[in-house]
Amino acid sequence: MLDRSAEVGIVGAGSMGSGIAQVAALAGHRVIVCDANQETLARLKPNLQNTLTKLQERGKITAESASAALEHVSVSDNLKALSSCGLVIEAVVENLEIKKALFQELEATVSLHTVLATNTSSLSVTAIAGALKNKERCLGVHFFNPAPLMPLVEIVSTLMTSEAQVKAVEALVVNWGKTTVRAKDTPGFIVNRIARPFYGEALRLLEEGVADVATIDWAMKEFGGFRMGPFELMDLIGNDINYAVTESVFAAFYFDPRYRPSITQRRMVEGGLLGKKSGRGYYDYASTAEVPQPRLERPVGELIFRRILAMLINEAADAVFLGIASAKDIDTAMTKGVNYPKGLLEWADEIGLRSVQQTLDALAEEYREDRYRLTPLIRRKLASGEGFYG
C-alpha cells in the first residue's frame, strides 16, 4: 500500500535524488537515501537542512515541518537499508547497464511488493524492467530538475507494468503536490521529445543565416511569449546536456531526420562552450561582455516564430497520433514541465491547423527533407474539420 506510511527509498544522493528526497520527506514519508559515494552522501543532510531553513525563513514551510522533514531522512551506503521500502526511486547516472544492474540488486533486496521506479529522462524504462524477474513492478517516474520546484512528473509505463502499480504511484506523487501526466515508453517520453524542435529548428535557422542568436531568442519571446529563447535556454541547461539528449533521441528513433543533431551544437560542446556553467556558450557571461542586440524586424521575427511553432505543434500532434500521450497530458506537460506559455495543441486550435499545414508543406517542398513531414493526424483533422479540443 503506497500511502504516507510507506517508506521511500532513493538511490542516488546527487541534486535530483536529494530533491526527490526533500519532496517525499515534506509529504511526511520516512526517506532513506542510498549512495556509494561517501562524500556525496555526507553532504546530503547538511544541504537539506540549509534548504529547509531557507524555506522556513521565506514562510514557505513551518519550523515544525522543516524539523520533521529533516528527521524523516536517513542515509546509507548499503542498499539493504531499503529492504522495508514500499517505493524505491533510482536517480543515478544515465547509463543503461548501470541501471539494469542496480535494479537487479534492488529486486534481490526489497520485498515482492516494493515498486521500483526509475527517474531516467532518456533511457528505455522497458529495457530496465526487462532485467527484472518481476517486471510489472517497474515504471518510470520522471521528475524535472529542480525536483522540489518543478511541478511536473511524467509517469511512464512499460509493456509489462501493472496498471495497479501505475495508479498507486500516480496517486502518491499527486499527494506530494505534483502534477502527473502519463506517457508511453518511447524516447524522450513527452517533454524531451516534443521540445526538440525548439532547439533544433532554432539552430537550423542560425546555420542558414536567417537570423543571429539574439534575434531568434527575441522572436520567440516577443511573438510567442516564451520566457526564454532557445539559445538562452540551451545555455542554461548546458549545451553538453542538451546535445547529449538530442543525440540520444536521434539514435533511439533510428535516425529520424526530425531529430538530427546540429553540427553547430557539436562544435560548441567540443570547444567547451557549455553555457552559463562554463562562462560562455551562445552568449558570453563575463561581467565585461557586450550584450548582443537583436535585429528588431517584425517580418523576420514572425517568420522565425511561425516556423519553430509549426514544428513544435507538429511534434505534439504526432505524439497524439502515435498514442504517446493524450492531447491534454501533452499540453499539461509542456506548460508545467518547460513553462511554455500555452499548450501546443491548444495553440494549434487557436492559430488554425491550416496555418501549420501550409507552413510545413512549404518547408517540405523547399527542402525536400523528411524533417518537415506533416503528421497524418493534422491532415485528418483538417479533412474532418475538427480541432484537438472540439
Q: Is there a catalytic annotation at residue 29?
A: no
121 has catalytic annotation: yes
DSSP 89-106: EE---S-HHHHHHHHHHH
Catalytic member of 7, 90, 107, 154: 154
Q: Which of 351, 37, 384, 333 is nearest to 183 (CA)?
A: 333
Rounded CA separation 383/59 (Å): 54
How many degrees, rounded to 5, is the angle at CA 340 between CA 153 and CA 243?
A: 75
d(CA 261, CA 246): 6
- Interatomic CA distance for residues 115 and 164, integer angstroms: 11
Exactly one of 192, 239, 248, 314 is catalytic; name it: 192
| Residue type for position 378 | I
DSSP state of 280: B
Candidate list 107, 119, 122, 142, residue with the active-site label? 142
Respond yes or no: is residue 154 known to be catalytic: yes
142 is catalytic: yes
Catalytic residue among 18, 72, 107, 121: 121
- The residue assigned the cell 500555452 is 342
Q: Which residues contact 139 (CB under 8 A, 6 or more apart)?
A: 115, 117, 118, 125, 129, 155, 156, 157, 158, 161, 165, 166, 169
Residues recognised as catalytic: 121, 142, 154, 192
